[in-house]
A = this chain, B = another copy of it.
Amino acid sequence: MSQDHVAPKRRLRLGMVGGGRSGNIGRSHRHAALLDGRWELVAGALSADPERARISAADWLIPADRGYSSYQTMAADEAAREDGIDAVTICTPNDSHHAIARAFIDRGINIICDKPLTTTMADALDLVHATREAGVIFAVTHTYSGYPMVRMARDLVKAGELGEIRSVAVEYVSQYQCELRRGYDWQNDPARAGPLGSVAGIGTHAHHLAAFITGLTLTELSADLASLLPGHLLDDHATMHLRYSNGARGYLWCTTVAPGNENGLRIRVSGSTGSLAWAQEHPNHIILARLNEQPRILSRGGFVSTPSSTAATRIPSGHPEGYLEAFANLYTEIADAILAKQAGHPGPDTGYLFPSVEDGARGVRFMFAALESSQNASRFVDATPGALGKDL
Contacts and interface: CB of A to CB of B under 8 A. Distances in A.
Contacts of A258: 167, 268, 270, 275
Each complex incorporates copies of this chain amounting to: 4
A375 interface: no
A228 B257 contact: no
7 interchain residue pairs of minimum CB distance: A260-B289, A262-B318, A263-B318, A320-B322, A322-B322, A319-B323, A224-B241
A334 B61 CA distance: 18
Contacts of A297: 287, 294-297
Interface string A115-138: 000000000000000000000000
Interface residues of A, number: 99
Nearest to A282: B282
29 contacts: A7-B61, A24-B316, A27-B315, A28-B315, A28-B319, A34-B34, A37-B61, A166-B237, A169-B173, A173-B268, A179-B292, A239-B250, A241-B241, A241-B378, A259-B291, A260-B288, A260-B290, A261-B289, A262-B299, A281-B284, A282-B282, A294-B297, A294-B302, A314-B324, A319-B323, A321-B323, A321-B324, A377-B380, A378-B379
Given A283-B320, A316-B24, A294 B299 contact: yes
A392 interface: no
Contacts of A61: 7-8, 10-11, 37
Contacts of A255: 167, 270
A191 interface: no
Given A30-B37, A61-B10, A274 B249 contact: no
A294 B289 contact: no
A249 B224 contact: yes
B249 A251 contact: no
B58 A7 contact: yes
B281 A320 contact: yes
Contacts of A362: none
A220 B245 CA distance: 28
A316 B264 CA distance: 13
A137 B296 CA distance: 42
A298 B262 CA distance: 12
A304 interface: yes
A210 to B, nearest CB: 14
Contact of A325 (B166, B224, B294, B322): B322
Interface string A229-271: 1000000010101110001111101010111111110001011
Given A35-B324, A296-B297, 16 more contacts: A3-B59, A28-B319, A34-B35, A178-B292, A222-B241, A226-B249, A239-B251, A260-B277, A260-B287, A261-B289, A281-B284, A294-B296, A295-B297, A314-B324, A320-B322, A324-B324
